[in-house]
């Protein structure tokens, strides 16, 4: 896929901290399966595709983000991982994509994204999802630049083999957004 073939969607999201009382019970019950001793940050995320509820927390030393519909139905689980957690072949495919598309790129964050069926995810909540048999997609937040142009930030999604799925330009909003 060449530079001219990719039409970038602009992704605009805002996150607001919400009180646990406003979170659907189904979502709270799912998060309870992690047996977290620390508090969970509950957020309402409003974006171009509507609204969702998100739980952010640390579990077994890894940052997790679990997204639900506003009714409490599980949408996906994302776990922040390091570059070393990505299989070598997948890592090479991802790097090749960025090298072809941009003159300069810097990976800011990688997340293993699990959006398998709810039952598959629930059966593994007590285990480390990265080491499980669930197959992740990789969501990479990257800062890029092409010669003569301003730098841009993208959220790029790859499959488990490192094949490109989609990318969205991240619109940075100057407001109070909780990030990690």
Q: What is the pLDDT of residues 58-117, one digit of tens each?
A: 988 889 999 999 999 888 889 899 989 999 999 999 999 999 999 999 999 999 998 765
Residue 14: band (very low, low, confident or very high) from pLDDT cuts 50, 70, 90: confident
Q: What is the pLDDT of residue 69?
A: 92
- pTM metric for this prediction: 0.80
CA distance 108 to 144: 10
Q: Which two tokens stand for residue 66?
A: 């679990």
pLDDT digits (tens, 9 = 90+) for 124-144: 554 444 445 678 899 999 999
Q: What is the pLDDT of residue 68?
A: 93
The phi, psi pair for 105, rounded to 5°, reads -150, 150
CA distance 108 to 84: 14
Q: Which two tokens stand for residue 162?
A: 């490192």
Give the 3-state secondary structure of residue 50: strand
- In this structure, are residues 53 and 45 in contact, taking their beta carbons and an 8 Å threshold? yes
The phi, psi pair for 25, rounded to 5°, reads -60, -35
- In this structure, are residues 83 and 39 in contact, taking their beta carbons and an 8 Å threshold? no
Residue 123 has pLDDT above 60, yes or no: no
């Amino acid at each position: 896929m060449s530079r001219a073939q990719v039409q970038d969607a602009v992704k605009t999201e805002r996150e607001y901290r919400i009180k646990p009382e406003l979170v659907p019970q189904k979502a709270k019950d799912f998060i309870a399966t992690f047996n977290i001793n620390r508090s969970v940050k509950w957020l309402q995320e409003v974006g171009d595709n509507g609204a969702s509820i998100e739980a952010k927390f640390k579990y077994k030393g890894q940052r997790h983000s679990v997204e639900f519909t506003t009714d409490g139905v599980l949408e996906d689980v994302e776990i922040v991982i390091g570059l070393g957690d990505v299989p070598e072949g997948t890592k090479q495919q991802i790097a090749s994509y960025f090298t072809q598309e941009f003159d300069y790129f810097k990976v800011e964050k990688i997340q293993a994204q699990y959006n398998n069926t709810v039952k598959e995810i629930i059966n593994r909540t007590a285990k480390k999802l990265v080491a499980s048999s669930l197959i992740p997609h990789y969501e990479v937040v990257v800062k890029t630049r092409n010669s003569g142009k301003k730098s841009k930030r993208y959220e790029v999604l790859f499959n488990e083999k490192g094949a490109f799925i989609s990318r969205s330009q991240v619109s940075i909003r100057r407001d109070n957004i909780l990030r990690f």
